[in-house]
């Protein structure tokens, strides 16, 4: 379920094809004074943005991909990327002043980052067709950053600008005069299933009242939290500019409260989540920042993201509450979509046959009762898929049917909500295990762009990137998810173990592997077995092999199939098999997946 958002009317952005043509025009011009590395820099950041991967345009990634720097590159001590970005900005400015004055498409690289911005030079230009096409090369619609959109040139569009300002003022007046004081952000035409999702009232963050500055920070932080919470599709965000009235508070599942305190340059933000049914504080945390080290906007963005993730991510405070109670409820057919969502996350933490069957049964009932619940279809797809990828843990025989059922459910979900992060996650995993890697990574990039605060999306996308051979960017994302305490606990640590193994850091690989949940999936133990083989620890490896032979004999007879189902590149598979062969295990010959 998506939260409805009111967006300002913005000028249409150039299509991917137009941007590519403009890039070719710039690179072929004698007025673009940059050597080969600078040209590669510009090509890389544009292609990554058009492919929907602008979130990865960090100094570390660019240094590795463009400059060929090693994994030890430290962007804090090595300013090479920042310097080159400054040169690119100046080269683009020169180009548009000299050779590109009549060009229709303007490409800039706004300061403060490496994500390029694309716009038309001469005001609003309508696309040739009613629907602007996606990126012709990647099939992913370019990400547009509304905060970076610049207005038309003042000398050419003074009259439309004045008229637009008047219209905006009139619209704002009408909105304030006519809008109800209490607004709930949810998708138009929401079904009863969506109505059952938990509602979160974000209260006004109090402040010490010592200055207008601290009051401004408190209001800005609340706005940031609302914006970040609205990215999560499994909750309804309630915003009330007036003090909470009794009837409104009673209608909410939770209230997010907080305050902001200032002591010199030290800023402390306090937040707590209160369950309305009994007034219990189910989550609380403090966030400290230094106004000398960070701007107030940076602090608001950082703290807002942390609070939103802690509260609303799949294994956050809301979804941790009462999951055990829900999982024990009788299967009377009366469960709604949200209850089944909770049952799903309860199952993913326990990972056993009973909880799996409970979640599957509940989600099947939910999709029958509420066929327009995209989240239910997406979670049902993931539940079906688990019968293939976790079949040794769940005790389910190997068939092709789970993948077919998962694909069908994911397609139903995508038809209902193509921009829902959970739906895109389901499409990514189904496509990955269906050996449609490009489609999987496109869906993953779109899911991550939709809600980068969702650690489950970030972690799963990072795993797919890494296991597709993009170890640098994938492992960065998995590491970020682990640092944010992504759940289930111990699930993403096995990804970190693989990352270390692939860079031949065997000691780190073993440490990460032992930190993973070895009971979650026998594949985790197989990873440890390979690492122990590579480390030459035959005695410890023997114990792991005995466990695997007893608890997952079918997997041990199909090692190549299971590994190749996950690691896409043959060279990565062979590195993994190397540790097993060092222990004397015979790996069956290559065959189809």
In sequence order, the 6+-apart residues with CB closer than 8 A to the CB of 254 are: 198, 199, 200, 201, 273, 274, 275, 276, 282, 318
Residue spans per domain, the chain: 16-148, 149-179, 183-313, 452-593
Q: What is the pLDDT of residue 386?
A: 96
CATH fold of 183-313: Rossmann fold (3.40.50)
Domains 183-313 and 452-593 in one fold: no
Integer Cα distance of 280 and 259 in angstroms: 18
pLDDT at residue 157 in the model: 35
pLDDT 10s digit of each residue in the chain, 593 long?
334 333 344 567 899 999 999 999 999 988 887 888 889 999 999 998 998 888 778 887 788 778 776 655 666 666 788 888 888 988 898 888 888 888 999 999 998 889 999 998 865 443 333 333 333 333 333 333 333 333 333 333 334 434 444 343 344 343 333 433 333 344 334 444 444 678 899 988 887 666 777 888 888 999 999 999 998 888 889 876 444 444 444 445 899 999 998 888 899 999 999 988 888 999 999 999 998 888 888 899 899 999 999 998 888 888 877 564 454 454 444 557 888 888 899 899 889 999 999 999 999 999 999 999 999 999 999 999 999 999 999 987 655 689 999 999 999 999 999 999 999 999 999 999 999 999 999 999 999 988 888 999 999 999 999 999 999 989 999 998 998 888 898 999 999 999 999 999 999 999 999 999 999 999 999 999 999 999 999 999 999 999 999 999 999 999 999 999 999 999 999 999 999 999 999 987 765 44
Structure tokens at 117: 């911005």
How far is residue 69 from each of residues 44, 72, 316, 370, measured CA to CA in Å? 15, 8, 37, 52
Give the H or E element holding residue 267: strand 266-275
Burial 289-300 (b: 16+ CB within 10 A, else e): bebeeeebeebb
Nearest Cα neighbor of 424 from 436, 442, 438 is 442
Helix (H) or strand (E) holding 185: strand 183-185
Q: How far apart are CA 544 and CA 520, in angstroms?
A: 15
Rounded CA-CA distance 385/408 in Å is: 11
pTM above 0.95, yes or no: no
Architecture of the 452-593 domain: Alpha Horseshoe (1.25)
Q: Distance between CA 440 and CA 429 in Å, rounded?
A: 7
Question: What angle, rounded to 10 degrees, do the helices at 296-312 and 212-229 form?
Answer: 40
């Amino acid at each position: 379920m998506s939260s409805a958002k009111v967006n300002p009317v913005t000028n249409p952005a150039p299509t991917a094809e137009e941007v590519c043509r403009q890039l070719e025009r710039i690179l072929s011009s004698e007025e673009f004074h940059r050597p080969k590395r600078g040209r590669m820099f510009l090509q890389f950041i544009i292609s990554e943005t058009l492919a929907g991967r602008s979130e990865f345009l960090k100094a570390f990634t660019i240094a590795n991909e463009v400059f060929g720097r090693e994994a030890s590159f430290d962007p804090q001590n090595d300013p090479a990327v920042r310097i080159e970005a400054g040169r690119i900005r100046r080269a683009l400015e020169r180009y548009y002043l000299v050779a590109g004055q009549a060009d229709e498409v303007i490409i800039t690289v706004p300061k403060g980052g490496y994500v390029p911005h694309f716009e038309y030079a001469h005001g609003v230009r309508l696309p040739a067709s009613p629907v602007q096409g996606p990126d012709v090369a990647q099939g992913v619609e370019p990400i547009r950053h509304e905060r970076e959109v610049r207005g038309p040139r003042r000398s050419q569009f003074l009259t439309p600008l004045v008229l637009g300002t008047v219209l905006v003022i009139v619209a704002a007046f009408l909105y304030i005069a006519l809008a109800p004081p209490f607004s709930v952000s949810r998708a138009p035409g929401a079904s009863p299933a969506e109505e059952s999702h938990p509602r979160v009232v974000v209260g006004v963050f109090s402040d010490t009242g010592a200055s207008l500055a601290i009051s401004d920070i408190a209001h800005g932080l609340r706005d940031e939290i609302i914006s970040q919470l609205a990215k999560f599709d499994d909750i309804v965000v309630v915003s009330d500019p007036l003090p909470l009235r009794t009837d409104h508070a009673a209608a909410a599942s939770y209230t997010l409260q907080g305050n902001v305190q200032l002591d010199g340059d030290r800023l402390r933000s306090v937040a707590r989540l209160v369950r309305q049914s009994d007034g219990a504080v189910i989550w609380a945390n403090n966030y400290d920042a230094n106004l000398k080290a960070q701007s107030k906007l940076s602090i608001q963005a950082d703290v807002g993201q942390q609070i939103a993730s802690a509260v609303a991510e799949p294994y956050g405070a809301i979804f941790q509450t009462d999951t055990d109670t829900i999982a024990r409820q009788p299967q009377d057919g009366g469960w709604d979509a949200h209850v089944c969502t909770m049952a799903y996350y309860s199952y993913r933490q326990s990972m056993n046959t009973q909880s799996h069957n409970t979640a599957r049964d509940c989600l099947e009932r939910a999709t029958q009762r509420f066929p327009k619940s995209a989240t239910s279809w997406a979670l049902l797809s993931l539940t079906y898929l688990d019968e293939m990828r976790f079949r040794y843990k769940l005790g389910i025989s190997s068939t092709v049917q789970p993948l077919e059922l998962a694909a069908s459910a994911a397609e139903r979900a995508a038809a209902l909500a193509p921009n829902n992060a959970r739906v895109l996650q389901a499409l990514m995993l189904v496509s990955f295990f269906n050996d449609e890697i490009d489609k999987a990574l496109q869906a993953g990039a779109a899911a991550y762009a939709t809600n980068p605060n969702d650690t489950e999306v970030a972690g799963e996308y990072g795993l797919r990137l890494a296991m597709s051979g993009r170890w640098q960017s994938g492992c960065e994302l998995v590491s970020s998810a682990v640092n944010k305490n992504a759940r289930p606990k111990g699930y993403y640590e096995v990804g970190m173990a693989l990352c270390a193994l692939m860079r031949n850091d065997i000691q780190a690989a073993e440490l990460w592997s032992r930190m993973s949940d070895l009971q979650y999936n026998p594949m985790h133990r197989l990873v440890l077995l390979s690492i122990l083989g590579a480390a030459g620890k035959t005695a410890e490896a023997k114990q792991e092999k005995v466990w695997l032979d007893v608890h997952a004999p079918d997997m041990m007879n199909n090692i190549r199939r299971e590994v190749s189902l996950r690691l896409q590149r043959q060279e990565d598979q062979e590195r993994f098999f190397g540790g097993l062969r060092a222990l004397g295990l015979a790996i069956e010959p290559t065959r189809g997946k």
